[in-house]
Structure 1
Amino acid sequence: MEMLQLGQSELQVSRLSLGCMRLAGQDLPSAKDIIQTSLDLGINFFDHADIYGGGQSEILFGQAIKELGVKREDIIIQSKCGIRRGFFDFSKAYILSAVDGILERLQTDYLDILVLHRPDALMEPEEVAEAFTILKASGKVRHFGLSNVNAYQIELLQAHLDEPLLVNQLQLSIAHTPMIDAGFQVNMLTDGSINRDGSVLDYCRLKKITIQTWSPFLIALDKGTFFDHPDYVELNETLKALAREKGVAPEAIAIAWILRHPAKMQVIVGSMNPERLKKIAKACEIALTREEWYRLYLSAGNFLP
């Protein structure tokens, strides 16, 4: 498993992270199987959120880790908070309360990283900074990050913090590439030229913030994944052709496409199928050429100026 340095920290993390959103749908033996498979593949990073399964994902993970006898210092646990029923909440009181709940469910004394989940329009950066200071001083959280935010939202919060934010979680797949499209179509009148996120990809590279990509196979929530999707026939043909050439599954090619980007992103993989996870992990053994990367990009219906 390829490793990378997470943001400006000293943490060495696996390029693939197990996203635990769907863990709540598993029983304990199945959860132990997928976690053990992840560890065997060299995955040391596990991504949670307090809303996943209404907290059940964290509970099941904590139980599975305990029964597997995994040493806490051998894994990196990240969880998120900020999404509540019908609104977002970055208040100091909620953040502190949410972390206490997360730690209790995970049966751990600390989080390696706490991430704020979705931008809260009512965020008071000074208040968030106070919460982070308390959590850091108490030893409950060691590092912090954000999710689904743009460059100036990061700047606003970072201006009140004493240490750098490590990560920004953003959606990216071959079929969902807005943060890449705008970089190609500069000063054009095409839809893809619209800068939807404040050049967040380039910003994160400049600030040494690790982008964690989520839903690496998704088109959109209402369309599902691009695998065998009727709107993505050419993409699937290209994925299968490259998979045959390299002796891997198409899933590995799709992940390798993200890993090939020089931003050194970390991919959050949410599969609860141990055999599929093994196929996906092969992505770390593949080095796509520049020509192959662009071939995949174009086959998804994108274009170059």
Structure 2
Amino acid sequence: MSDLPIHRALSSASPIVYGCMGLGGPWDTGDITRADVDTARRCIEAALAAGITVFDHADIYALGKAESAFGAALAESPGLRERMIIQSKCGIRFADAQGTKRYDLSPEWIMASVDGSLQRLGIEQLDILMLHRPDPLMAPDAIAEAFSRLQAQGKVAHFGVSNMNAPQIALLQRAIAQPLVVNQMEMSLLARDAFEEEVLAGHRGGASVNFGPGLIEQGVAGEIQLQAWGSLAGGWLSGRNLSGAMPTRQRLAERVAQLARSYATSREAIVLAWLMRHPARIQPVIGTTDAARIAACGQATDISLLREDWYSLWETARGEELP
């Protein structure tokens, strides 16, 4: 098995990832428009200006149109490619003439998905390919063969997973020669199971937490780069209308606003900094298409929350003190 360390595989990665799920217009089978390409270009430029160099795709985003719009923007400014890391995901198949919604990590689907992503993006190689969801029917040896072929063909440089727990990653890694360098899962101040599991081990209060023991520890040990989708918590803590929201969520939004004033930064930066303060060096994935909010998110790299402030956010989010 390769001993390529994570810091070399992602040596030029930024602390924040730009998620391209919002690009490409409606999730339908229509063509991309000029407006879709212009939006992609504005988001790329805003992200790069904020120091964000990692761009996250999936073959299903806007039914492929997110990659197409992004690729069209790159085609108009080819020099941008050298300034970014591009990752994409495969494995989710929506209901079609062949069957219901399903996960497909067969080598045939992986290979075809990569070819489709490369064509839509207009590039020769993905920096990272991620398996989008665990497929109960996946065969690790077959996936390993597909990965080796993709790397030998120069179509993918590195590989990772998404929404997988530590045992699933270990199962794949035993068969795969290349290191799995990334695991992306939902994490935010409103999706805290990974952190709750750390402190509720052996505590009866942790019986309802089922995130996956060992996942955070893999990140702390530098075995894999953790990325957090949904990191902005749906905007609930950074400006979304809280009318009718639960009191706990309202108090958390107020606490975020207080800390933003104290640190002289944006509310988005506080929300992201909470994840980034963890020793697992979590990369938040942001998905806004608002250039001002992209810039506000970029401010998270300039602050480090005090331990007391980090815990105050956690306790406010929990609605009760830690055990």
May I ask how many residue pairs the two structures share in their alignment?
Answer: 297
CA distance in 1, matches of 2:112, 2:69: 20
Choose which of 123, 131, 140 in structure 2 pairs with 1:116: 131
Deviates more, 1:29-38 or 1:97-106: 29-38
Choose which of 235, 238, 252 in structure 1 pairs with 2:269: 252
Match of 2:154 in 1: 139
Deviates more, 1:146-155 or 1:70-79: 70-79
CA distance in 2, matches of 1:60, 1:79: 14
Q: Do 1:6 and 1:12's aligned partners in 2 also have CA atoms closer than 8 Å?
A: no
Classify the secondary structure of the residue corresponding to 1:21. Answer: coil
Q: Which amino acid aligns with 1:33?
A: R
Deviation at 1:44, TM superposition (A): 1.1
Choose which of 73, 80, 93 in structure 1 pairs with 2:108: 93
Q: Do 1:8 and 1:166's aligned partners in 2 also have CA atoms closer than 8 Å?
A: no
Match of 2:31 in 1: none
Q: Where does the alignment leave 5 or more consecutive residues of structure 2 unmatched?
A: 26-34, 95-100
Classify the secondary structure of the residue corresponding to 1:198. Answer: coil
Q: Do 1:7 and 1:209's aligned partners in 2 also have CA atoms closer than 8 Å?
A: no
TM-score, with length taken from structure 1: 0.92
Match of 1:39 in 2: 48
Q: Which amino acid aligns with 1:182?
A: E
CA distance in 1, matches of 2:207, 2:310: 18
Deviation at 1:111, TM superposition (A): 0.3
1:189–1:47 Cα change, 3 Å: same
Q: Deviations over 1:178-202 (max 9, x none)?
A: 0110111122221466343133111
Identity among equivalent positions (%) equals 40
Q: Which amino acid aligns with 1:131?
A: A
Classify the secondary structure of the residue corresponding to 2:171. Answer: helix
Match of 1:51 in 2: 60
TM-score, with length taken from structure 2: 0.87
Q: Do 1:7 and 1:166's aligned partners in 2 also have CA atoms closer than 8 Å?
A: no
CA distance in 1, matches of 2:103, 2:189: 29
Q: Which amino acid aligns with 1:56?
A: K
Classify the secondary structure of the residue corresponding to 1:79. Answer: strand
CA distance in 1, matches of 2:312, 2:220: 24
Classify the secondary structure of the residue corresponding to 2:304. Answer: coil
Choose which of 269, 272, 280 in structure 1 pairs with 2:289: 272
Match of 1:9 in 2: 9
Match of 2:313 in 1: 296
CA distance in 1, matches of 2:39, 2:21: 14
Deviation at 1:10, TM superposition (A): 5.2
CA distance in 1, matches of 2:237, 2:207: 19
Match of 1:128 in 2: 143
Q: How does 1:157-176 map to 2 (within 5 A)?
A: 157-176=172-191
Q: Do 1:82 and 1:116's aligned partners in 2 also have CA atoms closer than 8 Å?
A: yes
Q: Do 1:82 and 1:90's aligned partners in 2 also have CA atoms closer than 8 Å?
A: yes
CA distance in 2, matches of 1:198, 1:301: 20
Deviation at 1:280, TM superposition (A): 1.0
Q: Which amino acid aligns with 2:11?
A: L
CA distance in 1, matches of 2:207, 2:18: 31
Q: Deviations over 1:151-185 (max 9, x none)?
A: 11001110011121100001110111001101111
CA distance in 2, matches of 1:207, 1:216: 20
Q: Deviations over 1:106-159 (max 9, x none)?
A: 000000000000000000000000100000000000000000001110011100
Deviation at 1:8, TM superposition (A): 5.5
Q: Deviations over 1:197-246 (max 9, x none)?
A: 13311134335200010001227xxxx73455322111011101111111
Q: Do 1:31 and 1:60's aligned partners in 2 also have CA atoms closer than 8 Å?
A: yes
1:102–1:109 Cα change, 3 Å: same
CA distance in 2, matches of 1:205, 1:70: 35
CA distance in 1, matches of 2:300, 2:316: 19
Superposition CA RMSD, Å = 1.7
Q: Where does the alignment leave 5 or more consecutive residues of structure 1 unmatched?
A: none
Choose which of 48, 71, 77 in structure 1 pairs with 2:86: 77
Deviation at 1:292, TM superposition (A): 0.4
